[in-house]
Amino acid sequence: MGNVIVHKSISLDGYVAGPNVSMENPMGEGGEALHSWMFGAPAPIDQEVAAWMTASAGAVVCGRHTFELGLPHWEDTPYPAPTFVLTRTGRPPLPARSASFTFVTDVAAAVRQAVEVAGGRDVIVMGAETSRAVLRAGLLDRVQLNLVPLLLGAGARLFDGVSVALEQEFSVSSPAVTHVRYRVVPS
């Protein structure tokens, strides 16, 4: 059985995106550096972690904001899996070369549908706001943080307004990043 999991690269000061997120800067100012460990010449352990993250994905849940900012880049998405987009208003599904996008208005329904189509693989939750909503709903099983030695100073924080107990399951590092996976402890 797969997990409902958040994979996030995060700065030392707790940001998962830099300030001033826009179409031109989908990760905010300086935010692209959060993913530098995956590109260029990543260390073998970083390549393994990135490959595991991609291979484990059976479905994705994201928010409208992540969808709108990411769609132009998603034709070659690392998660070519069915994607459920949380939105305030429904709309017809959108088939794309990389994945199908289904629009859902309820977080529990989005996660339930994603679990159903994931076929025992992981459901990847994307976007800080959506991750917080899934956490608040008690639907998240795991959090994979990729701690990058970078200070952004501002932007989007993953755990703003959320109280959660985590139990460390795994940790490995390279000079570019420390990967830590946690199990969400039910409250």
CATH topology of domain 4-184: Dihydrofolate Reductase, subunit A (3.40.430)
Q: What is the pLDDT of residues 122-175, one digit of tens each?
A: 999 999 999 999 999 999 999 999 999 999 999 999 999 998 999 999 999 999
Per-domain boundaries in the chain: 4-184
Classified as helix, coil or strand, 173 is strand
Q: What is the pLDDT of residue 74?
A: 59
In one-letter notation, the amino acid at residue 127 is G
Average pLDDT over every residue of 11-36: 92
**Against a cut of 0.85, is the pTM above it?**
yes
Q: Please state, for a pLDDT cut of 90, what percent of the chain lies above it.
A: 68
Q: Please state, for a pLDDT cut of 70, what percent of the chain lies above it.
A: 94
Average pLDDT over every residue of 76-91: 80
In this structure, what token pair is assigned to residue 63? 């928010």
DSSP string, 17-83: E-SS--SS-TT-TTGGGGGGGGSSS--HHHHHHHHHHHHHEEEEEEEHHHHHHHGGGGGG-S--S-E
**62, pLDDT greater than 70:** yes
Q: What is the pLDDT of residues 98-132, one digit of tens each?
A: 778 899 999 999 999 999 999 999 999 999 999 99
Residue 101 phi, psi dihedral angles, 5° rounding: -115, 120
